[in-house]
Structure 1
C-alpha cells in the first residue's frame, strides 16, 4: 500500500478517491447480488419481552418467558425472518418485578436496546403501564394476556391485544355456563364472586354482577382482596354464610391455589366452581400439587388447539425442557408467533411499518383455537377462550366441542 507521500496526493484528495472507490464497489456488489457489509441487512432482530420473574407474578412471568423462547427457537430453526435475509430473532427480556411502575421504567431499556417489537406482560395492570411507555417511543407492542378493556380503549396506535378482553370473555363464558346449567336442570341458582382488586378482577366482577342475573343466577356475595393475599379463611367463612351454590373466582395463580386449598380445608360444599381467567384452574402445577382441591374445577381460559402441528411441536419443546405446559407458555408462544410474523410481512424492523402491518393485515397461523386474527382498534376480533375442567391428574377441554377432549361434569359431585 502506498503512503500519501508516494501517491503525490494530498490527504483530502486521497480520502475523496477512497470514498469514490468504495461507492463504486458497493454499487457493483449490489448489481451482482453480492451481500456487502453496508447493505441494509439485519443479522439479528431484537424482540423485547416484558414479564415478571420476581414478585407476586414470578411464576406466570417465568412461564411466559419460556414460551417466548420456545417460539423464537422454532422460528430461528426454521430459517429466521426470510424477508430480512434469514435474520435470527433474539429476545431482550426485562423484569417488571410484578409492579406496573417498574415495568414502565424497564421499557426504556428495551427502547435503548433497539427492539423492533415488544411482547408482554401477562397482567392487565403491567400491560397498561408498559404499553403507554412503549407508545412514547412508537414501539409496536403485542399484549399476550391483559383482559382489562382500558388497554385498547386509550387510542394507542402501537398496542395490539392478542387474547380476548374481559367483556367478550365474560359474554362467552356466560353462554357456556348457561348451556351447562340448563342441561343440569338449573342446579345452580346462586353465586358468590371472589376477585383480586386490580383492574383485572374488579372489571371482571362488575361485568359478572350485571350478566349473571340474565341467565337466572343470583349474585349473593361479592368479595375483593389484594394481591398478594395469604389467608383466605375469613373469605371462605363468608362464602359459607352466603349459602351460594357456586363460587366464581378471579385471581392470579398463587392466590387461586391458596383459595382453593382454603375451600377444601374448610369443607365448603358447592355445586360448582366456575372461573374466568381463574389463575390456577388451568394450571397443571395446581393439579399436581393440590389434586383434591383441584377436582372438577371449571375454568374459562386461554388454551391452545391441541390438533395443530405447531401445538405438537410446543408439547415436545416443553417436555424436552421439563417445563409445565401452562396457558402462560401457550399464549406467550402464540403472541410471539404473531409478532415475528408481523416483522416478516413488513419486511422491516421499522416500527411504523410493523404497526401498519398489524393494523391492516389478517393473520392466522398460531397455535391458538382462534378464527382469523384481525385487529380492530387494537383488539383481536378472532380470539376466543375455551372451557377446561380438572379430571383426575389431567386438564381436559370441555368446550367448544370441536376442540373438546371430554364432556363437562356439571354440577360437580361431592368432593368429600
Structure 2
C-alpha cells in the first residue's frame, strides 16, 4: 500500500516538474509569438468607369504593404505586419460608403485610396463617423479637406494647388520660350472636375496676357470629337488646354491628329490620358509632345525607378497612382510606428504631426495643414519619344521641354 502511494507521488512530482518547466518557459513562448496583423483597408474602384485607375491604385498599395512587411513590419508593435483588406468602390459614392461600413466592421486600422473625388468625398465622410483614419490618394476636389474632418488626410496636391502650379508653370515655360503663345482654347468635360478647372483657367489666364478664344464642354463619355476639332481648327489657337478623363482625351488627340489640327502646344492639367503610359504606347503619334501638370513620381529617386522597373518586369503598366498609393502606405506605416498603436486617435494624431520624407514623389517633407499635405506639388510632364518625362520644375526634371511646336 505504501509502495503504491510512493509510486503515485513520484509520478505526480514528475508531472509537476514538467508543468513548472513549461510555466518557466511560457514568457519566452509568448515573446516568440507573431503579433496580430494590422489590417489596412484599401478602397479602390476596380470596376466601373474608373477601373483602370483603381487597378493602378491597388497595385501601388500591394507593393507598399509588401515593402513595409519586408522591412520588418511595425517595430513598435513587435514587428506586426500589414494585412490588406481590399474593397471595390465600384466607381460610385454609394458603393464606397457601403464598403467603408464593411471595412470598419472588419477592424481596419485605416483606409487608403478612393481615387475619384466623389468617391473620396463620400468614403472619408463615412469613415469620419467611426473616427477611422482615411488617407486620400488622388481625389483632387478641395471640398475633401474643407469640411473639417479630423480623420481625413490628402497626401497628394489638390485642385487649387495643381491649378495654381499649372498657371505658374505655363507662364514660366511660355516666357522662357519667348512668349510664343497668346491665344488659348479650353476643352473640358462637363462635370465637376472639368468645368471647375476650365472656369479657373478662364478667370486667371487673361490676367497674364492670354486670350481665351473659347471654352468647349463635352460629355463623359463622349463618342465623337469631330465638331470640337473643327471648332479648334477654325479658331487656330496657339495652345489647346484639355481637362478631361482618359477616353475623351485620347479621342480628342486622335481626332486632332487625323484632321491635322496643329498648335504650338497642348498643355493639360490633371489630365486622364496625358500622364498615362497606356495612351503613349497605344497611340504614340497622337500622344507625342502633349504636356500635363499632374502627379508623377520623382525620376531622380532610385527607389522610384526601382519600383517602376519591378512593376514593368511583372508585365503591368506604370502610372502615378502606383507611386502615390505606395507612398501613402509608407506614410501610414511611419505614423503607426510613431504612434506605437493602431488606436484611431493615436494614428490620426501621428498623421497630423507627420514630417515623413520616405516617399517616392517629387515633394518635400510631409506637412498636413487642415488635412492637406502642403509639402506636395504637381510637376510638368511631357510625352517625349514614347515615354513620359518630367520637364519642370528643374530640381525634379529628367528632360527639357519641347516647346513651342511647329503649328
Shift of 1:217: 1.0
Helix, strand or coil: the match of 1:395? Answer: strand
Report Cα offsets for 1:297-338 as digits up to 9, x if no partner: 111111111232321331232123211111111111112221
Summarize the Cα distance change of 1:340–1:256 in structure 2 as closer, same or farther, 3 Å threshold.
farther
Q: Distance in 1 between matches of 2:222 and 2:104?
A: 34
Q: Equivalences for 1:301-380 in 2 at 5 Å? A: 301-380=294-373
Q: Which residue of structure 2 aligns with residue 292 of structure 1? A: 285
Q: Which residue of structure 2 aligns with residue 8 of structure 1? A: none
Shift of 1:34: 4.0
Q: Which residue of structure 2 aligns with residue 131 of structure 1? A: 124
**Cα RMSD, aligned residues only:** 2.2
Bigger shift: residues 219-228 or 177-186: 219-228
**Among 218, 221, 245, the residue aligned to 1:225:** 218
Helix, strand or coil: the match of 1:396? Answer: strand
2:51 counterpart of 1:55 = no
Q: Is the 8 A contact 1:361 1:374 kept in 2?
A: yes
Shift of 1:252: 2.1
Q: Distance in 2 between matches of 1:105 and 1:262?
A: 40
Q: Equivalences for 1:253-268 in 2 at 5 Å? A: 253-268=246-261
2:389 counterpart of 1:396 = yes
Q: Is the 8 A contact 2:299 2:398 kept in 1?
A: no
**Among 193, 197, 204, the residue aligned to 2:186:** 193
Q: Distance in 1 between matches of 2:324 and 2:173?
A: 26
Q: Distance in 2 between matches of 1:103 and 1:159?
A: 15
**Among 226, 233, 244, the residue aligned to 2:237:** 244
Q: Distance in 2 between matches of 1:202 and 1:336?
A: 32
Summarize the Cα distance change of 1:139–1:221 in structure 2 as closer, same or farther, 3 Å threshold.
same
Q: Is the 8 A contact 1:81 1:87 kept in 2?
A: yes
Shift of 1:396: 1.5
Q: Which residue of structure 1 aligns with residue 378 of structure 2? A: 385
Q: Which residue of structure 1 aligns with residue 106 of structure 2? A: 113
Report Cα offsets for 1:342-378 as digits up to 9, x if no partner: 1222111111111111112321110111111110000
Report Cα offsets for 1:12-49 as digits up to 9, x if no partner: xxxxxxxxx9xxx79x966x794387xxx842111111
Q: Which residue of structure 1 aligns with residue 276 of structure 2? A: 283
Q: Distance in 1 between matches of 2:233 and 2:98?
A: 43
Gaps of 5+ in 2: 1-18
Helix, strand or coil: the match of 1:402? Answer: helix
Helix, strand or coil: the match of 2:112? Answer: strand
Helix, strand or coil: the match of 1:115? Answer: coil
Structure 1 runs, 4 residues or longer, greater than 3 Å off: none
Shift of 1:97: 1.6
Q: Is the 8 A contact 1:148 1:203 kept in 2?
A: no
Q: Which residue of structure 2 aligns with residue 35 of structure 1? A: 31
Bigger shift: residues 191-200 or 274-283: 191-200
Q: Which residue of structure 2 aligns with residue 180 of structure 1? A: 173
Normalising by the residue count of structure 1, what TM-score does the alignment of the two structures yield?
0.88
Q: Is the 8 A contact 1:124 1:199 kept in 2?
A: no
**Among 79, 91, 114, the residue aligned to 1:86:** 79
Gaps of 5+ in 1: 1-20
Report Cα offsets for 1:171-191 as digits up to 9, x if no partner: 111111111111222211111
Shift of 1:398: 0.7
Q: Which residue of structure 2 aligns with residue 3 of structure 1? A: none
Q: Is the 8 A contact 1:304 1:367 kept in 2?
A: yes
Helix, strand or coil: the match of 1:98? Answer: coil
Shift of 1:260: 1.4
Helix, strand or coil: the match of 2:124? Answer: helix
Q: Is the 8 A contact 1:49 1:92 kept in 2?
A: yes
Q: Which residue of structure 1 aligns with residue 201 of structure 2? A: 208
Shift of 1:77: 1.3
Q: Distance in 1 between matches of 2:83 and 2:406?
A: 49
Q: Distance in 2 between matches of 1:33 and 1:250?
A: 60
Q: Which residue of structure 2 aligns with residue 166 of structure 1? A: 159
Helix, strand or coil: the match of 2:129? Answer: helix
**Among 78, 90, 93, the residue aligned to 1:97:** 90
